[in-house]
Amino acid sequence: MKTSAKQGYGQHQVKELKELELMVLLKSLWPYLMIHKARVIIAMALLVSAKGVALVIPWVFKHIVDALDSDTPEQLLVIPLGFVLLYGGMRFGAVFLGELRDAVFSRVTESAMSKVGLEVFAHLHQLELDFHLGRQTGGISRDIDRGTNGINFMMRFMVFNILPTIIELIVVMLILLFAFDVWFSAVTLVCVVVYVVFSIKTTEWRTRFVKEANRLDSKSSTRAVDSLLNFETVKYFNNESFETKQYSANLSAWEQARVDNRLSLALLNSGQALIIGLGVTALMYLAAKGVAEGTMTIGDLVMVNLYLLQLFVPLNALGFIYREIRRALSDIENMFGLLKRQSTVQDKAQATVLKVDHAAIEFEAVDFGYQKQRQILKNLSFSVAPGEKVAIVGPSGSGKSTIGRLLFRFYDVNAGTIRIDGQDVKDVQQLSLRQAIGVVPQDTVLFNDTIWNNVAYGCTDASDEDIWNAIDMASLRTFVESIPEGVQTIVGERGLKVSGGEKQRIAIARVLLKNPSILLFDEATSALDSESENSILKALAKMSSNKTTIAIAHRLSTIVDSDRILVVADGQVVEQGSHQELLALDGQYALLWKMQQSPND
């Protein structure tokens, strides 16, 4: 099943890589820009103002040089002084307007990054369980980080570098055309076209190196996170050296991909520098020739030089930006692919809120399989009366835990119907369905937070009194009062700093605080010792009083007090009745009971 999930996710990524283009991305980002429409307009106005001031600077400098080249005393002193002051003011104005523009626009970019990241985070929580069983947490985390950084780059440089550079190129070409002759504009145009074509073609070629480096970066990160999360398993099998070798192999591959990336970048930069150098040389030759022939002044030559420098600096940045845009697209596409991925379990358009009056449960002719080739449940039917405690037992792989997942609607049935108080779970909102069900799982996972906050997670707006009541009902108070920091004790990642019994008590307290109408115990005591199990069973019994309860169990001794026991084998109910009735039947349940009571067991 996990292999299938990973393959499905990978196939979806390939599809998104083909479909996501620059215009599609810009269209996706546009709503986030429009959240702060006034700031965008002000920033664009400041952008135009800053670029206008920058374009006047070479003209001012030309007049300074021409005035200093004159023999007239007035021109030698007064005019240059005025233009020098104007030149200084223009320089300051261009920088100041640019900084002000960035300050105004910063709220737009930061807001977009925050909102997109939040949207992806929320969307991941809406995806079905199958996706999360097959996900690679480290890789997805890096995809989101790089994606949000890519959005920041795209929004800043597309708006403040590419657009103004294009405008500046057009204006400079027009100035050179009308102030001098057509050759200046022609050489500039040819140089720019060759530069852009070379940059695009070479960048397209080297994009594969960028993607490969990112892929290997995600792979090494995923391996590292997976290894650290399974720290205890690594220690149990003395595989520290093996994990280090695996990580080293991943890092070596990543290192080589980065080297290839750097070499291709050096080729691109060298080619761009050659094109710019040839263009500047040609234009300066034309300007120097004009001065020698008397058709241009020294100031004109200086002005042409300044315009060229002013143009080719951002043009050089344009090549860098295009490279970064390609990389940003590569980074963003996985994140946007996650957003486009639709959950296989969705609410209907007319889904209603589940109304729980008695909490009666009914499974009618349910068929289900995680894969088409392997059917788990086959025409399964049973019911649970309001307030009844029903246990489900059977051999491993018989479909016991699957029943709980279908009730919680982690998956949809292939055929048949699951009802709560006569309402098909497919016809009600998932949120209301899951609010009505409390689950105590076999493998309780806690947040790396305090005991108090882990209990309070069952109802985030509960009062302190309610939380303490839940702690008392779960028989947790004695434990928390016996440790130095009490309820403020940090339980560690996945709750590794507390024992299995205490973890289960915290899980029980959390569900008690939720106060659901239906309880689901999924082998909640299978990992505990006998003493802890007896204590937890008392807490579970107290919790399930007067609530409709389904207890999935492996140890039959934990469910002998159930109102009814269902024996599931090969996806079907093969026996049902009370503990004594099933023993008297002398069937599969009786056989399981004898095996577990055997002293050799």
Residue 83: CATH number of its domain:
1.20.1560.10
* pLDDT greater than 70 at residue 492: yes
Are residue 376 and residue 464 in the same domain, yes or no? no
pLDDT class of 381 with cuts at 50, 70, 90: very high
* pLDDT greater than 60 at residue 600: no
Are residue 326 and residue 201 in the same domain, yes or no? yes
Are residue 416 and residue 470 in the same domain, yes or no? no
Within a domain: 164:
yes
pLDDT class of 570 with cuts at 50, 70, 90: confident
Are residue 529 and residue 401 in the same domain, yes or no? yes
Residues 531, 536, 537, 539, CA torsion sign: positive
Tell me which of 163 and 230 has the higher pLDDT: 230
pLDDT class of 420 with cuts at 50, 70, 90: very high
Pairing relationship of beta strands 564-569 and 548-552 according to DSSP bridges = unpaired
Distance, C-alpha 440 to centroid of its chain: 28
Provide mean pLDDT across the span 457-463: 88
Closest to 229 in 3D by CA, of 143, 125, 148, 135 = 135
Would you list the DSSP string of 486-547? GGG-B--GGGTTS-HHHHHHHHHHHHHHH--SEEEEESTTTTS-HHHHHHHHHHHHHHHTTS
Within a domain: 441:
no
Kindly report, residue by residue over 432-457, the tens digit of the pLDDT.
Answer: 998 899 888 877 778 888 889 989 98
Closest to 469 in 3D by CA, of 477, 461, 458, 480 = 477
Closest to 334 in 3D by CA, of 120, 159, 534 = 120
Rounded mean pLDDT of the chain?
Answer: 79
Closest to 78 in 3D by CA, of 67, 69, 89 = 67
pLDDT at residue 392, rounded to an integer:
93
Within a domain: 336:
yes
Are residue 279 and residue 141 in the same domain, yes or no? yes
Of the residues 312, 340, 368, the one at which a domain ends: 340
Closest to 39 in 3D by CA, of 98, 114, 101, 115 = 101
Structural tokens at position 422: 């006569």
Domain extent at residue 30? 2-340
Kindly report, residue by residue over 96-138, the tens digit of the pLDDT.
Answer: 887 887 788 777 777 777 777 777 777 776 676 666 655 555 5
Within a domain: 110:
yes
Provide mean pLDDT across the span 524-538: 65
Structural tokens at position 478: 């004695």
Listed range (135-144, 279-288, 449-458) with the worst mean pLDDT: 135-144
Q: How far apart are CA 273 and CA 128, in angstroms?
A: 51
Are residue 65 and residue 140 in the same domain, yes or no? yes
Are residue 471 and residue 323 in the same domain, yes or no? no
pLDDT at residue 419, rounded to an integer:
95
pLDDT class of 20 with cuts at 50, 70, 90: very low
Are residue 30 and residue 129 in the same domain, yes or no? yes
Listed range (137-141, 262-266, 426-430, 483-487) with the worst mean pLDDT: 137-141
* pLDDT greater than 90 at residue 567: yes
* pLDDT greater than 70 at residue 75: no
CATH code of 583's domain:
3.40.50.300
* pLDDT greater than 90 at residue 576: yes
The number of distinct structural domains making up the chain is 3
Are residue 118 and residue 28 in the same domain, yes or no? yes
Are residue 325 and residue 377 in the same domain, yes or no? no
Of the residues 304, 319, 340, the one at which a domain ends: 340
pLDDT at residue 465, rounded to an integer:
92
Within a domain: 582:
yes
Within a domain: 143:
yes
pLDDT at residue 163, rounded to an integer:
73
Provide mean pLDDT across the span 240-248: 84
Of the residues 300, 321, 340, the one at which a domain ends: 340
- Judge contact between 511 and 440, C-beta under 8 A: yes
pLDDT at residue 565, rounded to an integer:
93
* pLDDT greater than 90 at residue 197: no
Within a domain: 590:
yes
Name, of 165-169, 177-181, 467-471, the range with top average pLDDT: 467-471
* pLDDT greater than 80 at residue 30: no
pLDDT class of 18 with cuts at 50, 70, 90: very low
Tell me which of 352 and 11 has the higher pLDDT: 352
pLDDT class of 258 with cuts at 50, 70, 90: confident
Q: How far apart are CA 356 and CA 517, in angstroms?
A: 7
Within a domain: 176:
yes
Are residue 95 and residue 57 in the same domain, yes or no? yes
Are residue 466 and residue 559 in the same domain, yes or no? no
pLDDT class of 383 with cuts at 50, 70, 90: very high
pLDDT at residue 240, rounded to an integer:
84
